[in-house]
Amino acid sequence: MKVTKIFDKGHQWFMFGRDPEKADSIIDTNQYMIVAGERALLMDPGGIEVFAPMLGAILHHAKADQITDLFASHQDPDIISSLGLWDQALPEARLHAPWIWEGFIRHFGMNNIEYVGIPDEGNTLNLGLINLEFIPAHYLHASGNYHVYDPVAKILMSGDVGAALESPEGPIYVDDFDEHVTRMKMFHQRWMPSNRAKNDWISRVRKLDIEQMAPQHGRIFKGDDVKRFLDWFEELEVGTAIGNDDD
Amino acid sequence: MANMAQNEDKLVALASIAAELHSVMNVAYGVSLAAKNAKVISAQAGDKGLGFQPITDFIDEISQLAIEGVSTINENALRLSKIAVHEQRSYDAYKRFTSVIKKNEDAAYIKSLNPSMDRVETHMIKSFKEFRNSMKDLFVQLEEMDKHMLSARAIASVSRVVTSNAQEFRAKLDVVADNLDNAAVFIKDKVSDSYEHLDRVKTLTREHA
Ligand SMILES: [Fe+2]
Ligand SMILES: [Fe+2]
């Protein structure tokens, strides 16, 4: 598991991904961790198969009991099917996840961890030294879905939005936006169901001061590429599996 | 990997016990109904059915024992499956934690995983012991059921002798005896199949340990 520190000023952001031991048949995922003093938040911790490499990689940077909080942007298996194992590794932790998915996510096995449902309008998580915002991203692509915004680091962890189907050798940051579009287009057209939801999210996110947009698959957008992404996404017709959208 | 497959086998074998015994329940209810019928018939037969009356009580009793026994056995088989799933989950976590520790000896905070490792290990051992004990109970319950069915068969043949004096009621009472005997044979059969499944579980458990 490759670990990249993407922010380090008072608190740290780590990106985990590009796992060379991962089977080819499962989609490559990026996991993120914020370490803020004595506490840490693990975001979209991933599937069962990445659990061991993830835990191993984490323990180079944080103590197990330091991870007081987990976050799942939505209920997908590549996001949180490892829950049954985290439940045994971090029994004291809390999981922040969409309230509508509680009964579903519990199917992954949760006997110890506490489920903290995030309300539809989103909310703020106090992680001791810092506050993080859970930004609604409903229907992008799951019907209950959030992103994590860190106003100090100016990073938006954007879940499946901005995702690209990437090879495990791919770089961490987007270097050529136009070329990168080829890896994102189909993903967004097919996985994102609603143009209305997309535009609603764009208008909300445009108000945030973002230096890095960090998706759960593919590469991180930095600086002007964040705005480029929002413009590109705005123009893109999504929900294409049923032909032309009606709005 | 072998362990994973064995545990799946174990779960299938446990589910098979519940499946075998499902049909037993209906048969046992049938016998209970027949016993109640027989009571009515032997009451109608008056003196001619005199010898048969205590037998109908016994048939009723044995069908109740079968119904209760089967529910207990089913509950226990289900409990065993649940414990096996828990055990599997702790074992899976234990294996993954072990691999994390082995591959990341150099990690600064590797020792912070120890409390979780200990907890999972304790849980795994506890589930394993619980499994063994419940399995022993289940063997005893199946053996008891087998004994009950043997007595049922003995009663069925005794009742044939008794009904030889029952004249016009004989045919009806014999039907009850036949029903009882068939049911006992059927249940014995299912119990013996269940016993085999449980034996398989036991073997897999020994290999697992
Ligand atoms: Fe997803
Ligand atoms: Fe995803």
Q: Give residue-wise pLDDT tens across range A54-103.
A: 999 999 999 999 999 999 999 999 999 999 999 999 999 999 999 999 99
How far, in Å, CA of A79 to CA of A44, rounded? 5
Partners of residue A90 in chain B, C-beta under 8 Å: 116
Segment A150-159 mean pLDDT: 98
Contact residues, chain A, for B112 at CB < 8 Å: 59, 63-66
Domain map (residue ranges) of chain B: 2-86+128-208
B53 has which bridge partners? none
- Looking at CA atoms only, how far is residue B132 from chain A in angstroms? 23
Ligand 2 centroid from CA A161, angstroms: 9
Contact across the interface for A55 and B92, Cβ inside 8 Å: no
The pLDDT tens digits of the residues spanning A191-246 come to 999 999 999 999 999 999 999 999 999 999 999 999 999 999 999 999 999 876 45
Are the beta carbons of A64 and B99 separated by less than 8 Å? no
Q: How many CB pairs under 8 A join A and B?
A: 60
Average pLDDT of every residue of chain A: 95
Residue carrying the six token digits 């079968």: B66
pLDDT for position B3: 60
3-class DSSP assignment, residue A63: coil
Q: Among B87, B88, B89, pick the best mutation site for testing chain A contact (most A Cβ within 10 A).
A: B89
CATH of the domain at A232: 3.60.15.10
Q: Name residue, tokens 């449980």.
A: B198
Q: Quick check: is A37 in a domain?
A: yes
Q: Residue written as tokens 């323990």?
A: A59
Contacts 24+ apart (CB under 8 A), A22-27: A22/A49, A22/A50, A22/A53, A22/A168, A23/A49, A26/A78, A27/A78, A27/A165, A27/A217
Q: Do B109 and A64 touch (CB under 8 A)?
A: yes
**pLDDT for the residue B2:** 46
Distance, CA of A137 to CA of A160 (rounded, Å): 10
Q: What 3-state class would DSSP assign to B33? A: helix
- A242 is a domain residue: no
How far does B109 lie from chain A, in Å, by closest CA? 5
- B interface with A, Cβ–Cβ < 8 A, is 89-90, 92-93, 96-97, 99-100, 103-104, 106-110, 112-113, 115-116, 119-120
Q: How many angstroms separate the CA atoms of B111 and B108, rounded?
A: 8
What residues in chain B have per-residue pLDDT under 50? 1-2
Q: What's the Rg (C-alpha) of chain B?
A: 25
Residue A244 covered by a domain: no
Which residue, among B104, B105, B123, would best test binding to A if mutated, counting the most A CBs under 10 Å from its CB? B104
- Distance, in Å, from the CA atom of A147 to the CA atom of A122, rounded to the nearest integer, reads 9
| Residue A126 lies inside a defined structural domain of this protein | yes
Answer whether A172's CB lies under 8 Å from A181's CB: no
Decide if A65 and B112 are in contact by the 8 Å CB cutoff: yes
End-to-end CA distance of chain B: give it in Å, rounded: 14
The total of structural domains in chain A comes to 1
Assess contact for B198 and B135: CB atoms under 8 A. yes
Measured in angstroms, the CA of A116 and the nearest CA of chain B are apart by: 22
pTM of the model: 0.87
Q: Which of A55, A82, A85, A110 to mutate to test the interface with B (most CBs of B within 10 A)?
A: A55
Rounded-to-integer distance, Cα A183 and Cα A205, Å: 22
Query: Is residue A148, in this structure, part of any structural domain at all?
Result: yes
Q: Is residue A245 part of a domain?
A: no
Which of B89, B96, B112 faces A64 most closely, judged by CB atoms?
Answer: B112
Residue A140 lies in a domain: yes
Residue A196, domain member (yes or no): yes
Who among B89, B99, B110 is closest to A59 (CB)? B110
Structural domain boundaries, residue A220 = 2-237
DSSP three-state, residue A158: coil
Percentages helix, strand, coil for chain B, rounded to the nearest 5?
95, 0, 5
Provide the pLDDT for residue B161: 81
DSSP category for residue A148: E
Q: What is the ipTM, given to two decimal places? A: 0.89
